[in-house]
Amino acid sequence: MASEIEASALLRLLDEPETLHVIDVRSQEEFAEWSIPGAFNIPVEEIDARVNEVGSGLVVVVCAAGPRAERAAQILADHQMDSSVLRGGMAAWGEVYDDVTLKLGNATVVQVRRRGKGCLSYVVGGSQSCVVIDPPVEIERSIAVAKAYGWKITHVADTHLHADHVSGARLLSETTGAQLLMSHLDAYLFSHPSFENGDVITLGGDSEIQVSHIATPGHTSGSTTFVLDDTALFTGDTLFLESVGRPDLADKAEEFAGYLFDSLHQEILKRDDSILIFPAHVGQAHPFRTDELACATLGELKGRLEALSMSRHEFVAWASSQASPRPPNYEAIVEANRGGSSLSFEEITSLEAGPNRCAVSPS
């Protein structure tokens, strides 16, 4: 039986691509849909004839869940080539996390990254307490970060009603007793405190910090951006590092594209170019590194995203016409996040496998 490697160990090795060869033995269609950065696709049926393409060094073989990778590893062994199989396959890759920390004035920002899906969550703390923004359903990740810094979780917030992954906000709030903050403009089925545009979360302690929230509809009706002391914006799915949020998931693409343009120009783009943008997702092409935050200054995004310089007419026409496949199982995920699903926790979380698709295609 081939040796195995854990997804967490593979994550660390990705920072050294010159010594690593990830061979994905799924079909070309599966590979095109979702893959590990830097992976090379050789379907298992072809690997015997293409062993010369595998390369030398550390070889990790990947498939959806494991069986095809084990077959491929045996074929490689028959050719006297060592390899390891990614335990749990792409399903395990979709569940692996790491985090990176940044000090911003009196605040500390911890970016919790689910790198296999490109999902980003944030724990923002002062000296004693913190707010968790867009927490993953694996709430122990957020709790562990808060514990490591000695913070009490006093607030939990979602930037919007998520469609591509299961939110941990409600469960984290119930577990910790933190105040749950969500927009009443998104169609949640459970009661929660509603916040108004401009409301402020104050994190007390030796040095008080403030996180305010502003309405930025467009991706969803209730999309919200959180502002940290005028140094950072947590933009959810309104503004990404590669594009802007898709406006079509509510089946009102032109109307919501107009809302999105107004949100960007009235609430975000008018701010100082030095402010940092922290989105809720990044695309597959984003070059994650273990010690680097996934973020950019607003000025950097203005310089590289053509959509931000379009007229309103151009933007609406572009954003409403760039439909891409919707997130896998998005209707069931939305229903779970609304609080209306009858599925078990295990069934709900199994719906998340695959890439996120909440941005407008930049091309």
Q: Same domain for 123 and 168?
A: yes
Q: Is 141 in the same domain as 16? A: no
Out of 74, 92, 110, a domain closes at 92
CA-to-CA dists, residue 322 to 140, 244, 314, angstroms: 37, 11, 12
**Residue 207's pLDDT is what?**
65
Domain of residue 294, CATH code? 3.60.15.10
Which tens digits make up the pLDDT trace of 86-109?
999 998 998 899 999 999 999 999
Report the distance separating Cα 134 and Cα 132, nearest Å.
7
Does 350 map to a domain? no
Answering whether pTM is above 0.75, one says yes
35 and 145 assigned to the same domain: no
pLDDT for 358 = 61
Structure tokens at 352: 């998340």
Residue with tokens 């092409």: 285
Q: Tens digits of per-residue pLDDT, 129-153?
A: 999 999 999 999 999 999 999 999 9
- % of the chain beyond a pLDDT of 90: 66
Asked if residue 362 is part of any domain, the answer here is no
As a whole number, mean pLDDT of residues 186-206 equals 80
pLDDT tens, residue by residue, 311-332: 999 999 999 987 666 766 888 8
Shared domain for 238 and 315, answered yes or no, is yes
- Whether 317 and 337 map to the same domain: the answer is yes
Mean pLDDT of the chain: 90
Containing structural domain, residue 27? 3-92
Phi-psi group of 339: left, alpha or beta (phi > 0 → left; psi -120 to 50 → alpha; rest → beta): left
Domain boundary among 92, 114, 130: 92
In a domain, 363, yes or no: no
Q: Is there a single domain that holds both residue 87 and residue 171?
A: no
Whether residues 196 and 248 share a domain: the answer is yes
Kindly state the average pLDDT of the residues 178-205: 84
Mark which of 72, 92, 112 sits at the end of a domain: 92
Q: What is the mean pLDDT of residues 199-221?
A: 86
Same domain, 211 and 263: yes
Determine how many CB atoms are found less than 10 A away from the CB of residue 292. Answer: 11
3-state secondary structure the chain: CCEEECHHHHHHHCCCHHHEEEEECCCHHHHHHCCCCCCEECCHHHHHHHHHHCCCCEEEEECCCCHHHHHHHHHHHHCCCCCEEECCHHHHHCCCEEEEEEEECCEEEEEEEECCCCEEEEEEECCCEEEEECCECCCHHHHHHHHHHCCEEEEEECCCCCCCCCECHHHHHHHHCCEEEECCCCCCCCCCCECCCCCEEEECCCCCEEEEEEECCCCCCCCEEEEECCCEEEEECCECCCCEECCCCCCCHHHHHHHHHHHHHHHHCCCCCCCEEEECECCCCCCCECCECCCEEHHHHHHHCHHHHCCHHHHHHHHHHCCCCCCCCHHHHHHHHHCCCCCCHHHHHHCCCCCCCCECCCC
Domain assignment present for 355: no
Write the CATH number for 9: 3.40.250.10
Residue 363: pLDDT above 70?
Answer: no
Spatial CA neighbour of 168 closest among 196, 129, 141, 200 = 141
Per-residue model confidence (pLDDT) at position 331: 85
Half-sphere exposure at residue 226, Cβ-oriented, CA atoms within 13 angstroms: 31
Same domain for 104 and 79?
no
Residue 88's contacts (CB-CB under 8 Å, 6 or more residues apart) are 7, 65, 66, 95
Q: For residue 169, is it within any domain?
A: yes
Q: What is the structure's pLDDT at 17? A: 65
Residues 199 and 329 in one domain: yes
Are 269 and 325 members of one domain?
Answer: yes
Number of structural domains found in the chain? 2
Task: Say if 354 falls within a structural domain.
Answer: no
Residues 74 and 205 in one domain: no
